[in-house]
Amino acid sequence: MASLAEYFAANRPVAKYNIGDRVIGKYHGVPFVGTCGADVMVNESVGPLVTVFLDLPLKHKDQWHELFVKVKYKDIKLYR
């Protein structure tokens, strides 16, 4: 039987972003700039998500996101 480390290495995606990477992107169409936190796989149906700590608060509909948002890979790119 394989160890847990071998199982996760074979069955989970490799992280695309590192903690501290600067990124830009859009959260439901609203642009933002921030710093990457965790790049994790939540579950198979949701897929990988990146936690981004925001430089400035972001308002989506009537809700303010002051600290962080969780986005998919397609919604962000490295800020250079």
How far does the chain reach from its first CA to its final CA, in angstroms? Answer: 44
Looking up tokens 């919604």, which residue turns up?
75
Query: 63: domain CATH number?
Result: 2.30.30
- Cα separations (Å) of 46 from 21, 37, 43? 22, 18, 6
| Residue-wise pLDDT tens digits, 40-77 | 887 888 889 999 999 999 999 999 999 999 999 999 99
Looking up tokens 């859009």, which residue turns up?
26
Domain residues for 57? 4-78
Report the C-alpha gap between 18 and 37 in whole angstroms: 8
Q: What is the pLDDT of residue 1?
A: 61
Number of domains observed in the structure of the chain: 1
C-alpha dihedral (37, 38, 39, 43), degrees to nearest 10: -140
